[in-house]
Amino acid sequence: MWHAAEAAVIARVQAKTSGKTDAGSIYTRLTFEVLEELLPVPVPQPLMIEMPGGEADGWVEVVSNVPTFAKGQLYILLLAQVEGRGWQPLQLDLGVFSLAPSSGTRLFVGQPLVINGSGGVADGGTWTWDDFWHRTSDARPAVRVPNLRREWLVLSEAAQFQFGRPAARLFECDQGNTVPFAIDPRGDGVLGPDASLAAVVQGLEAWNTVDGSSLRLVDGGYAESLETACPDPTGQSFKVRFQDPDNMIPPPIDCRGILALTSYRANLSETKLLGGQEFARIRCAVVSFADEWEQCPNWNSCNLAEIATHELGHAIGLGHSSERVPEPNSRLRDATMYVQAHFDGRCAGLREDDKDAVRFLYPALAPLSVLGDVTLVPALAGAPYAHRFEVVAATPPVAWRLGRSDYCGLELDQTGLLRGPVDGCLCWSRSIGPAPTPAPTPYLFVTAEDATCRAHTRFFTIPIELPEGGNAPLPSCTPTSAPPLQLSPTPTLPMPCTSSLAPSPTASPTGTPTKPPDLLFTPTATQSIGPSPAVQATLSATPSLTPSPRPTASATVSSRCTGDCDRSGVVTVDEVVRMVNIALGTLPPMYCLAGDRDGNGQITVDEIVEAVNWLLVGC
């Protein structure tokens, strides 16, 4: 690795941004402060590295073997220049080493340091500071051993957050459906199409043979296209490709390096709560095998089947296993989802840790699912509308919740009945770009949660038919372009479920996504969907907070709290602002029916004050 590196630096992560390419894939751009150059090759200051994966527009893309970074953390980066992509870590996560304290969680001056490499680095990948630089200097004398500097170790508490990833899984198997993977008809350049196809099919079948799991992966025929659009226009959103068609995998160094990459895209707006953990829905996944391994002695059909099995494990949502084999002094761990390939003749075989992981992620007892197509029965503008949602695998009673909605006037009751008037306009719950940006597809978000705290959040869209016909985009119901309210697409679950989850996520097998991942991903769990609407005028007099009786925190939720516009069980600042705008006449009353306590069609100062009290003490 040191011989192959074109440059090497000690650097600290300063910032990251994510976005989408024209083709729809997601990338993350990281900014590093370069503290020391270890080879006589200059690199830019600051150093910008763009890598696949990240979060954008409510989607997350996770790519295996892309390194994970923490803001403020110190790293040793072995770098190589890649045509069209600039500086990249050599062999992806294999070229990234982190500096950490030998004990505890914080770096400070005078504390012994250790240097950690990827799990794919031989001999455990952990060295003392002195041993690491002794080995490095022996391997490449041109390397300049740095002196530790006091300023390197000064870290801000506020800067410590992880570029992690959310847990994700396939949802199709929960209702007995299979997931087809289309396979590249070219096959491997040396082993050929037939042997390559057989190796992939063995990997698919390996994950189907686990007792106690509902997962079913099948051969989806030949891939019609090797593109990675999501959703795929040909309907083949799950693919296996050979010969690294995107040229994303670095060539091997002495028959060592990255064997394959797997990426999946998950929709963060559709989630399930399973085993006390929330999972986003995987919508697309692509397994890509490397090329340039043809002359390596381990490149054969059996080992290709092991690689396929491992990468398909990533495609279904599994991270790398950290399992240790029971034998003493064993350097290689036994799970097929371990970060290193074994090439021990197992072919497509799974081990117990792999099986435990897939049982946890895809239990035979299917989790709760909200049924129905994404597109509901059309509504006629101005006419009453009703649709009843149904669930399967639920333990009664089932609680229903309507989250973000672009449809004015619709409400969801506790029988799963969605009803109300549908106007010929939309109350956009998210920001809309200025013209000529087209308005997004309108959605509403429905959550069902059963007595065992299993939950499913889905989004649906309702086509609206205008009486006069036509297909023109529907206007906003508000007189301004500013959205009336921003709600989280996945509302917070009620306290009974979040306070007594069982089993604990830490009790899950090591191959599940509960393990800290070695994949790159995104920012914090919360995101801003848009600005809160500004109050467009001031009240003529400042109201006192005493006219209405102050509600107590022990009040029951059965009589909905004044101001709880979205029935989430919580009154928010945005909802109070919405009520003020209704009182001022800048928004219609339908935007917060719960704010009109007496049902007279108006929002009064007393009702606003009562909503403020609920905001302060909790609904």
Q: What is the pLDDT of residue 560?
A: 64
Mean pLDDT of all residues in 153-179: 68
Q: What is the sign of the dihedral through the CA atoms of 309, 310, 311 and 314? A: positive
Distance between CA atoms of 50 and 20, rounded to whole angstroms?
12
Q: What's the token pair of residue 462?
A: 């309702």
Pick from 160-169, 242-251, 295-304: least confident: 160-169
Mean pLDDT of all residues in 34-38: 89
Q: What is the pLDDT of residue 130?
A: 81
Mean pLDDT of all residues in 262-271: 88
Say whether pLDDT at 157 is over 60: no
Q: What's the token pair of residue 183?
A: 């396979």
Mean pLDDT of all residues in 425-450: 76
Q: Model confidence over 195-204: pLDDT tens digits?
A: 999 999 999 9
CA dist list (Å): 312 to 217, 251, 315, 510, 545? 9, 21, 5, 17, 59
Q: What is the pLDDT of residue 503?
A: 30
Site of tokens 């092991």: 306
Q: What's the token pair of residue 197?
A: 């196809």
Q: What is the pLDDT of residue 196?
A: 94
Of the candidate CATH numbers 3.40.50.720, 2.40.50.100, 3.40.190.10, 3.40.390.10, the domain formed by 168-361 belongs to 3.40.390.10
Higher pLDDT, 131 or 447: 447
Q: pLDDT tier at 154 (50, 70, 90 boundaries)?
A: low
Say whether pLDDT at 568 is over 80: no
Site of tokens 């083949």: 236
Residue type, 66: V
Higher pLDDT, 556 or 7: 7
Q: What is the sign of the dihedral through the CA atoms of 119, 121, 126 and 129? A: negative
Say whether pLDDT at 432 is over 90: no
Length of the chain: 619
HEC sequence for 141-179: CCCCCCCCCHHHHCCCHHHCCECCCCCEECCHHHHCCCE
Mean pLDDT of all residues in 36-55: 88
Give percent of the chain with pLDDT exceeding 90: 27
List strand residue ranges (DSSP E) for 176-216, in order. 179-183
Q: What is the pLDDT of residue 259?
A: 92
CA angle 443, 449, 453 (to 5 degrees): 140
517 DSSP assignment: P
Mean pLDDT of all residues in 515-533: 27
Q: pLDDT tier at 585 (50, 70, 90 boundaries)?
A: confident
Say whether pLDDT at 230 is over 80: yes
Tell me, rounded to whole angstroms, the distance of Cα 41 from its chain centroid.
Answer: 37
Distance between CA atoms of 171 and 392, rounded to whole angstroms?
13
Looking at the DSSP bridge assignments, the partners of residue 445 are: 459
Pick from 104-118, 195-209, 441-455, 462-476: least confident: 104-118
Pick from 207-211, 457-461, 595-599: least confident: 595-599
Tell me, rounded to whole angstroms, the distance of Cα 518 from its chain centroid.
Answer: 14
Mean pLDDT of all residues in 308-333: 74
**Which CATH architecture fits 532-619?**
Orthogonal Bundle (1.10)
List strand residue ranges (DSSP E) for 25-172, in order. 26-37, 47-52, 54-56, 59-63, 74-82, 86-89, 96-101, 113-116, 126-128, 168-169
Residue type, 24: G
Q: What is the pLDDT of residue 510?
A: 36
Q: What is the pLDDT of residue 117?
A: 79
Tell me if 421 sits within 8 A of 367, measured CB to CB.
no
Pick from 104-118, 219-233, 443-457, 534-548: least confident: 534-548
Q: pLDDT tier at 110 (50, 70, 90 boundaries)?
A: low
CA dist list (Å): 153 to 30, 67, 72, 110, 416? 20, 22, 10, 10, 55
What are the domain boundaries of the chain?
A: 7-159, 168-361, 376-400+407-462, 532-619
Q: pLDDT tier at 567 (50, 70, 90 boundaries)?
A: low
Higher pLDDT, 154 or 130: 130
Give percent of the chain with pLDDT exceeding 70: 76
Say whether pLDDT at 482 is over 70: no
Q: What is the pLDDT of residue 195?
A: 94
Q: What is the pLDDT of residue 511?
A: 40
Distance between CA atoms of 327 and 493, rounded to whole angstroms?
44
- Tell me which CATH code domain 376-400+407-462 carries: 2.60.40
Q: Model confidence over 494-515: pLDDT tens digits?
A: 334 532 222 333 233 334 333 3
- Alpha-carbon Rg for the chain, nearest whole angstrom, is 27
